[in-house]
Chain A
Amino acid sequence: GEDVEQSLFLSVREGDSSVINCTYTDSSSTYLYWYKQEPGAGLQLLTYIFSNMDMKQDQRLTVLLNKKDKHLSLRIADTQTGDSAIYFCAERRGGNNRKLIWGLGTSLAVNP
């Protein structure tokens, strides 16, 4: 995961917004993804953004992409205790390679 970096922990209060950040290194990235992993579960695709987009909104989730700075963020509005999980950022690079490059995950703790 050295090419995709995330902060390891984030703690927020219930009802606040959470912002999880991710940086990547390869400018040829085509898609960037956010996956959620709850304890004992697999990886759930939350949302993704194509590299020619700046923003994507889906209900409580907002993804911002700054391609110049190679920075991706996931904002969760009105964070709930059920949002407590590990959030992984992943990038897919150009070409026919379907391999994803993963960050180490950000553990989000939502406090009541």
Chain B
Amino acid sequence: EAGVVQSPRYKIIEKKQPVAFWCNPISGHNTLYWYRQNLGQGPELLIRYENEEAVDDSQLPKDRFSAERLKGVDSTLKIQPAELGDSAVYLCASSSAAAGNTIYFGEGSWLTVV
């Protein structure tokens, strides 16, 4: 069974440019998460979806970050415009009640803003 798939793996952009990350969760997982992980830190939840509904976006900086999960499967996370402080790893994860709500992570999208 395929795990959580993310792309791109690595991205280098100049500040003020837009960037988008894509995630395909594990098949059948209705819950999808976007986390941000800064160097030397644990992951920080940005947004959690239950199917296509965002049920927890309290930590998402809404002035420049947006996310969508239109059909309740794949999701995209966008930053526009990017700032130097956005350099981090953006991790997508998924879970399902049928699998005990254990959260499985993708390999991450490593963003460097210069």
Contacts and interface: CB of A to CB of B under 8 A. Distances in A.
A42 B108 contact: yes
A99 B42 contact: no
Query: In the complex, which range does the number of interface residues on chain B fall in?
Result: 20 to 34
Given A45-B102, A98-B48, A98-B103, A105 B108 contact: no
Interface residues of A, number: 22
Contacts of B104: 45
B79 interface: no
Interface string A43-72: 111001000000000000000000000000
Contact of B95 (A41, A98, A102): A98
Given A41-B108, A43-B91, A100 B103 contact: yes
Contacts of A35: 105
Task: Specify the main secondary structure of chain A where it touches its partner.
Answer: strand
A88 interface: yes
Contacts of A4: 42
Given A98-B103, A99-B56, A100-B103, A43 B40 contact: no
Contacts of A31: 101-102
Contact of B105 (A40, A42, A48): A42
Contact of B106 (A33, A42, A90, A102): A42
Interface in B83-114: 89, 91, 93, 95, 101-108, 110
Interface of B: 4, 6, 31, 40-43, 45, 48, 56, 89, 91, 93, 95, 101-108, 110
Interface of A: 1, 4, 31, 33, 35, 40-45, 48, 88, 90, 92, 98-100, 102-105
